[in-house]
Structures are given as structure tokens and as C-alpha cells.
Amino acid sequence: MLHLYNTMSRSKEVFEPLNDKQVKMFTCGPSIYRRPHVGNYRSFLWEDVLQRYLEYQGYEVRRVINFTDVEDKAIAEAEKEGEDVAELTGRVADHFFNDTGLLRIKLPPEIPRSSTSVDQAVELIKVLLDKKIAYWHEKDVFFDPLKFEGFGRLYRLDMSRWPKEKKRFRRDTYPGRRWNLGDFILWHGRRDGEGLFWETDIGEGRPSWNIQDPAMVTKHLGYRIDIACGGIDNIYRHHDYNLAVIEAASGEEFSRYWVHGEHLLADGKKMSKSKGNIIYPEDLLQDGLTPLHVRFYLLYGHHRKRMNLTMGSYRKTAEKLDAFRKTVQGLLDLESAAASRKKPEKAASELIDGFLEDFKAYMDDDLRIQGAFDAITDGVSRLGSLKRDGRLTAADRGKIEENLGRIDQVLQVIFP
């Protein structure tokens, strides 16, 4: 059975969806005011593998990955570049679609945007206002965390630190991994001169970042889902805000499992524009290295452990994949297989069947992709020895291709 580390409980738990064979899964997508870098794609990749592995196990996965396109940062960046917000975010979205295609990341048929979910954001705000969990202040709407029992429980926020005096945080996002101890904004009422706004039942304005994800999730998946995913930074404010908004509106548990991935560092440092160490996927496509090398490198390590990207480690991991694929191609060589034995051997059959057994054992243990790949590599290497001794049959070749093909439905790095 699949076990996932649940951030909410701080432990590995057996995965049991709400419905027998259907999984609802939300994975935080990019804020498309700026291009995602390879650290962002590391998150998108392990989430991709999680979806593919659930499907491998026979689940039907309904997944939402979203575009945040009308937050404060998008507006500020568009003004800085002297272009319309839609032009800016459209250009960044095109980069994302190109990169995800190269990296073989499966995307849902439709990707909702903040700008296409304003109606649902307004409906959520109206419910929260009616329940007096949200309130108006100077044209804006704020959420009062003290009105929601259990606020901050995902992060395990110490509510004894909460200030006695009323504090409000009006900006969409704040830098750093810290908490804003006070009320957070849900709706930006339109001020004079502001060009980006919607006319709604609650007046002119735009939804804040804190209501955008809840609007997109509930509009497309409903108020209860199985898995919520994202980077580790999201446990600071963002995911607890999402949880509070949705559960305050519905009165039900929002997500059964919360899965978070750690940072990708660049030469030991967190990637940031201010440090000038942002790396994009195309920066790793050099000297014969391909998108499959990038995909494999970003997956070859546990998602809950930090990874430090260096060109040395990247090339070494790429060589590991190349050596593996070369051995696999040797095993699948028809001419050699036809010249081998006609009668299957038990040793070969056990190794070939072991591919699926090892893969499942490691993947069921909180998606241990590296362990799964290394176990399969060992089996492939031992089969290579049998082949050199003329101890493989054409039937073995077919079974090798079949089993590795099934595994590659998930990993997407073995075959072209």
C-alpha cells in the first residue's frame, strides 16, 4: 500500500482516498509574473510522478494545477516592464508550457487562472462575511484568524504569540519564511487610478492572493480533496491560509493529505533574483545533455530532502542515466536476443519480475524514486551479465521491454 508523509500529522500514513478509485489532487502552480526556474520545476516533477504513480496503481486522478496571474507582484512587474498584465502573464505561461513539454510533465486539460476564478472568490468572500469570519475595512475585506478554530495547525503555529491589538496585513505576499501575526486580506477594493479590477456583487476590486487558490480549488475540485501539494515554503502562511478559508466556508476538512517538497539549492544557496543565481531548464541543456537528463536529475533524490545543484553532480547523474539506458538497449537488441537461448531461465525471470516488485516497494514508501531506480539498475546490470553469457531468450526480451515500459509510464526517463 502507498504510504505518504503527511505534513499535517508529521508522519507517514497509508494513502486512503475519499472515494475508492478516484483521487482529487491540488498542486500549487506558478505565479506567472516571472518564469519558473529549475527549483520550481523540481516540485512540478515530483508532483507529476505522484500523479503518474497513482494512475499506475489504477486510480483516476483529477488534478488541478493553477496559474496565479493577478497578484500584486504581477501588477508591479507589468508596470515595470511597461506592458499589460495579460501580456506579461501570457508570455510567461508560454514558457511554462514549453518547459513542461520538454520535461514530460503531464498537465491537466485545463489550467485555471486567478483571473478566471474571480466569481468563485467573490462567492467564498460572501460566505465568510455572512459567517462574520471576514469583515470590511476601508474598502478591503480581511479574514480574522481568531474566528477560525485551529488556525495555523498545518504549520503548528503557536497562537500564544498572537498580538492583543488588531493588526492587518494588506499586501498579497510578504518575503521570507515568517508569519504575519494578524488578519490577512481577501479582497482589494478598487482605489482611484487602479486599472485592474472587476465589477462584482461586493463592489469593484480584485481578489487577493490568499483567496485565489481557494477559489480555483473549490471551483474545479469542490471543498474536499485527497492531496494538496507544494513546496516547503507554502507551510509558511500560504497553505494554512488556504485551509482556513476553505474550511471556514464549508465546515469540513479540506485535504486529507498535505505533501511538501524541499528546496533545490544552486551551489549551496537558495535561488533568487537578487543573488543572480537563477537557473532555467535551458541553462542545463549543453554539451549533449537533454531535457531527459534534467528530468532525471531533479527526480533522482527524495522530494523531502534538500538537493544542491552543481554542474558536477548534474553531469554525474546524467552519466548514470546514460549508462542505464545503454544497458537496457543492449538487452533489447533483437539480433542478440534471437541468438540467445530458447528456453527461459529461472534466474532471468526472477530478475525481470523483480523490476515491478522493487519499483512498487520503493515507490510505496513515500515515493523513494532514487531507491527504485537504483534497484532496477542493479537488476538490469545482472541481466546484462546473463545476456553476455547467452542466457536470455527472445521471450525475456519482450518481458523486459514490457515491465520497464510500465515503470516508465511513471518515471518517463527510460525510453525516448
Q: Same domain, yes or no, for 254 and 290?
A: no
179 conformational bin, left if phi > 0, alpha if psi -120 to 50, beta if neither: beta
Q: Same domain, yes or no, for 114 and 180?
A: yes
Q: Return d(Cα 410, Cα 46) in angstroms, integer.
A: 10
Average pLDDT over residues 49-68: 98
Place of cell 531533479: 298
3-state secondary structure (DSSP) of residue 189 = strand
- Look at residue 268 and tell me if it is in a domain: no
- Look at residue 267 and tell me if it is in a domain: no
Q: Return d(Cα 30, Cα 303) in angstroms, integer.
A: 18
Q: Same domain, yes or no, for 107 and 198?
A: yes
Phi (first) and psi of residue 337, to 5 degrees? -65, -40
Place of cell 491589538: 165
Beta strands 11-14 and 3-6, pairing class: antiparallel
- The whole-angstrom distance between residue 416's C-alpha and the CA centroid of its chain comes to 24
Q: What is the pTM of this model?
A: 0.95
Q: Return d(Cα 91, Cα 89) in angstroms, integer.
A: 5
Average pLDDT over residues 126-135: 98
3-state secondary structure (DSSP) of residue 49 = helix
CATH number at residue 314: 1.10.730.10
- Look at residue 32 and tell me if it is in a domain: yes
Specify the number of domains making up the chain. 2
Q: Return d(Cα 308, Cα 263) in angstroms, integer.
A: 9
Residue 348 makes CB contacts below 8 A (sequence gap 6+) with 383, 386, 391, 392, 393, 396
- Look at residue 270 and tell me if it is in a domain: no
Helix (H) or strand (E) holding 134: strand 134-137
pLDDT value, residue 205: 97
Average pLDDT over residues 207-229: 98
> In the chain, pLDDT over 90 holds for what percent of residues?
91
- Look at residue 110 and tell me if it is in a domain: yes
CATH number at residue 119: 3.40.50.620
Query: Taking 70 as the threshold, does the pLDDT of residue 224 lie above it?
Result: yes
Q: Return d(Cα 393, Cα 301) in angstroms, integer.
A: 34
Q: Same domain, yes or no, for 349 and 248?
A: no
Instruction: Give the residue numbers spanning the domain of 346.
Output: 281-411
Q: Return d(Cα 317, Cα 300) in angstroms, integer.
A: 8
pLDDT value, residue 272: 84
Q: What is the pLDDT of residues 293-347, one digit of tens each?
A: 999 999 999 999 999 999 999 999 999 999 999 999 999 985 654 555 567 789 9
370 with 300: CB under 8 angstroms?
yes
Q: Same domain, yes or no, for 175 and 36?
A: yes
Q: Same domain, yes or no, for 84 and 219?
A: yes
Q: Same domain, yes or no, for 190 and 151?
A: yes
- Look at residue 326 and tell me if it is in a domain: yes
- Look at residue 30 and tell me if it is in a domain: yes
Q: Return d(Cα 40, Cα 23) in angstroms, integer.
A: 23
341 with 388: CB under 8 angstroms?
no
Q: Return d(Cα 409, Cα 353) in angstroms, integer.
A: 17
Cβ–Cβ contacts within 10 Å for residue 314, how many?
Answer: 19
Average pLDDT over residues 359-364: 98
Q: Same domain, yes or no, for 315 and 205?
A: no
Q: What is the pLDDT of residues 187-196, one digit of tens each?
A: 999 999 898 9
Place of cell 500500500: 1
Q: Same domain, yes or no, for 256 and 331?
A: no
- Look at residue 273 and tell me if it is in a domain: no
Q: Same domain, yes or no, for 229 and 292?
A: no
Nearest-5° Cα angle at 404, 398 to 405 = 85
3-state secondary structure (DSSP) of residue 173 = coil
Q: Same domain, yes or no, for 245 and 300?
A: no
Q: Same domain, yes or no, for 147 and 213?
A: yes
Q: Which of 89, 108, 127 shows the shortest CA–CA distance to 44? A: 108
Cell of 34: 516571472
3-state secondary structure (DSSP) of residue 18 = coil
Residue 338 makes CB contacts below 8 A (sequence gap 6+) with 394
pLDDT value, residue 177: 85
Query: Taking 80 as the threshold, does the pLDDT of residue 129 lie above it?
Result: yes
Q: Return d(Cα 304, Cα 216) in angstroms, integer.
A: 26
